[in-house]
């Protein structure tokens, strides 16, 4: 009996020792990733974009719901990669159609020229936006293209940390976007936390997968049906983004957005309209 107990204890020690070795080996070999933004000058990537939305607004004691479904594309052309790591590129967002469904109507719109936005962008080596300029040459106000582009991130890159990262690492970024919409402007301020999940393959492309959680605040003004509105709101975004390991360019992303907005009409006829917007956004490289 004592001999059997001795054998059991010896086996248990071997198991514990083996597990300890495996743990130490895993810790000592935790893979580091050095993510850098390095697209090739003259190259181009194209994305398909879809946005599914639901807007609920309360006005004069009544609640109205509108569902939207839109589809489009985004073309990113990398013009120049500077010696300091900064990158110059253009982003062209196109809305093909928008379907609107509500108790009052069901309709499909093809926005045409008003669904196109084109920007020249410069970012530093970490993806921080240094400048962004509209390339529109007409006098038409920006419209659905700008809104759809902003919903999908309107960028070829996420903001990355300076140095190596490993699975489980997180960092926080701050970003401000100005969206021209229906004759007005809305400023979105976003604070996002990225967490590295690991390396995966999308088809034959090696990508790093990141989970992201973000808080967003909006402020600005716009006009609808001849009336001027002030806009304020806050919201949360949760999603996943896959970044090509070789170039640092976004390969695919998907997110869910829930925003609480208030539209305030001032003047002879004053009113406040609370709104809740829910959106699901997907962008994937062709």
Q: What is the pLDDT of residues 256-272, one digit of tens each?
A: 999 898 888 876 677 88
Residue 205 and residue 282: Cα distance in Å, rounded? 18
What tokens were used for 174?
């701050």
What's the pLDDT score for residue 135? 87
Q: How far apart are the first and last CA of the chain?
A: 69
Residue 69 and residue 109: Cα distance in Å, rounded? 11
- Neighbouring-strand partners of residue 258: 236, 278
Q: Would you call 22 helix, strand, or coil by DSSP? A: helix
- Neighbouring-strand partners of residue 236: 215, 258
What's the pLDDT score for residue 1? 54
CATH architecture of 33-56+65-285: Roll (2.30)
Above 60 in pLDDT, residue 85?
yes
Q: What is the pLDDT of residues 135-164, one digit of tens each?
A: 876 554 444 444 444 444 458 999 999 989
What burial letters (b/e) apply to 22-43, b meaning 16+ CB within 10 Å? eeeeeeeeeeeeebebebeeee
- Highest-pLDDT range among 26-40, 55-69, 117-131, 260-274: 117-131
Burial class (CB within 10 angstroms; exposed 0-12, middle 13-18, buried 19+) of 210: buried
């Amino acid at each position: 009996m004592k001999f059997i107990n001795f054998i059991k204890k010896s086996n248990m020690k071997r198991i514990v020792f083996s597990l300890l070795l495996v743990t130490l080996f895993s810790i000592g070999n935790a893979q580091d990733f050095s993510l850098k933004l390095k697209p090739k000058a003259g190259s181009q990537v194209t994305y398909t974009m879809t946005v599914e939305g639901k807007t609920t607004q309360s006005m004069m004691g009544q609640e109205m719901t509108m569902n939207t479904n839109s589809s489009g594309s985004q073309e990113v052309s990398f013009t120049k990669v500077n010696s300091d790591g900064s990158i110059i590129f253009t982003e062209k967002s196109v809305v093909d159609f928008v379907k609107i469904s509500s108790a009052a109507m069901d309709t499909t719109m093809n926005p045409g020229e008003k669904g196109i936005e084109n920007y020249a962008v410069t970012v530093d080596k970490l993806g921080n936006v240094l400048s962004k300029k509209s390339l529109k040459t007409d006098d038409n106000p920006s419209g659905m293209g700008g809104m759809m582009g902003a919903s999908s991130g309107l960028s070829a890159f996420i903001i990355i940390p300076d140095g190596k990262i490993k699975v489980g690492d997180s960092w926080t970024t701050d970003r401000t976007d100005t969206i021209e919409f229906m004759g007005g402007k809305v400023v979105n301020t976003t604070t996002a936390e990225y967490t590295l999940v690991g390396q995966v393959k999308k088809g034959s492309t090696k990508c790093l997968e990141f989970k992201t959680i973000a808080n967003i605040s909006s402020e600005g003004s716009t006009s609808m049906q001849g009336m001027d509105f002030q806009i304020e709101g806050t919201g949360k975004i949760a999603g996943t983004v896959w970044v090509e390991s070789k170039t640092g360019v976004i390969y695919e992303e998907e997110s869910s957005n829930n925003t609480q907005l208030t539209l305030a009409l001032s003047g002879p006829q004053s009113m406040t309209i609370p709104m809740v917007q829910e959106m699901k956004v997907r962008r994937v490289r062709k």
